[in-house]
């Protein structure tokens, strides 16, 4: 699969577009408006510059990656793609709309349509299309250029050929390790990670320990690269909330229920790094 489409150019979509372009694919990216596209393009440029400064990419590679990407606001531009990865907000209604639309515009009957959803059932997205055997979950991790994992999630109807193509794309093309997961909310990683982050928020909410101490406890006590509250800021409080809600809806287990503090911070627009403030405050 060489002709890649990425729907959504936020934190995850921009990372997916970047790694696909860096691997030599022809990448088309679609966003809803000018502002979102400009922010996504700027994020990709910053990340490529960071890779060059870190010695992970040379100037020619940077130019080639930039040249391999094109951007638009029209989902119809996905028509000629062999592989489309949806990476929009974690809203079931919005994702269903995209999949229904893709099913109408993507011409190649063998094209694969993947979702980077963290928790929404792949089966539901597949049923919005006319080719459920080619719909699959491909869940990347943030920051995409740095994190070495992709979860591949087959629904009850996903074809083995589709899954094999996606596994090969993630490993051979992108150099990531694949974990296969069943189609249950949270898949493997978030089913474990989200209760851990929510426990950190509950600990803070109860006044049991400070933000800094909770995070230092896990960084220095358990060698995690960042503590649960800093990680929640990196993921985005809104995304963490959406994944927790999907998990709670699916399993009705108390450990997945979003604590009020998380909910109020989302209401206040304190969404973490992307808005400059969450559990910590960030500079420009």
Catalytic residue ranges: 118, 139, 151, 190
Q: How many CA atoms lie within 13 A of 116 on its CB side?
A: 28
Whose Cβ is closer to ligand CAA: residue 30's or residue 243's? Answer: 243
Stretch that binds ligand CAA, among 138-146, 208-216, 245-253, 263-271 (CB under 6 A): 138-146
The size of the interface with ligand CAA (CB under 6 A), counted in residues, is: 20
The reply to whether 226 sits near ligand CAA by the rule CB under 6 A is yes
C-beta of residue 129 within 8 angstroms of C-beta of residue 102: yes
The reply to whether 225 sits near ligand CAA by the rule CB under 6 A is yes
Q: Given candidates 33, 34, 35, 54, which one binds ligand CAA under the rule CB under 6 A?
A: 54
Q: Given candidates 24, 56, 72, 269, which one binds ligand CAA under the rule CB under 6 A?
A: 56
Whose Cβ is closer to ligand CAA: residue 2's or residue 45's? Answer: 45
The reply to whether 118 sits near ligand CAA by the rule CB under 6 A is yes
Stretch that binds ligand CAA, among 28-36, 72-80, 144-152, 174-182 (CB under 6 A): 144-152
Whose Cβ is closer to ligand CAA: residue 75's or residue 244's? Answer: 244
C-beta of residue 6 within 8 angstroms of C-beta of residue 20: yes
Nearest C-alpha neighbor of 41 from the set 70, 64, 19, 61:
70
The reply to whether 235 sits near ligand CAA by the rule CB under 6 A is yes
The reply to whether 135 sits near ligand CAA by the rule CB under 6 A is no
Residues in contact with ligand CAA, shown as a per-residue x/- string from 240 to 279 under the rule CB under 6 A = ---x------------------------------------
Binding site for ligand CAA (CB under 6 A): 47, 50-51, 54, 56, 118, 141-143, 145-147, 190, 193, 225-226, 231, 235, 239, 243
């Amino acid at each position: 699969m060489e002709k890649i489409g990425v729907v959504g150019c936020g934190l995850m979509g921009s990372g997916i577009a970047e790694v696909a372009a860096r691997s030599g694919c022809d990448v088309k990216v679609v966003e809803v408006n000018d502002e979102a596209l400009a922010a996504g393009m700027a994020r990709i440029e910053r990340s490529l510059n960071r890779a060059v400064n870190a010695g992970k990419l040379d100037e020619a590679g940077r130019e080639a990656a930039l040249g391999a990407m094109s951007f638009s606001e029209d989902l119809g531009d996905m028509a000629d793609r062999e592989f489309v990865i949806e990476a929009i907000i974690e809203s079931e209604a919005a994702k269903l709309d995209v999949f229904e639309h893709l099913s109408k515009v993507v011409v190649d009957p063998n094209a694969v349509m993947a979702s980077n959803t963290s928790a929404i059932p792949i089966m539901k997205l597949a049923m919005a299309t006319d080719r459920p055997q080619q719909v699959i979950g491909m869940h990347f991790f943030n920051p995409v250029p740095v994190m070495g994992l992709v979860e591949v999630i087959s629904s009850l109807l996903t074809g083995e050929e589709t899954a094999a193509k996606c596994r090969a794309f993630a490993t051979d093309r992108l150099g990531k390790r694949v974990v296969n997961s069943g189609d249950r909310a949270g898949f493997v990683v978030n089913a474990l990670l989200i209760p851990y982050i929510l426990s950190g928020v509950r600990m803070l909410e109860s006044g049991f320990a400070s933000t800094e101490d909770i995070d230092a406890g896990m960084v220095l006590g358990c060698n995690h690269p960042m503590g649960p509250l800093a990680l929640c800021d990196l993921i985005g409080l809104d995304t963490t909330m959406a994944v927790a809600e999907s998990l709670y809806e699916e399993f009705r287990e108390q450990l997945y229920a979003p604590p009020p503090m998380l909910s109020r911070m989302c209401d206040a627009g304190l969404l973490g790094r992307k808005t400059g403030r969450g559990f910590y405050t960030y500079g420009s």
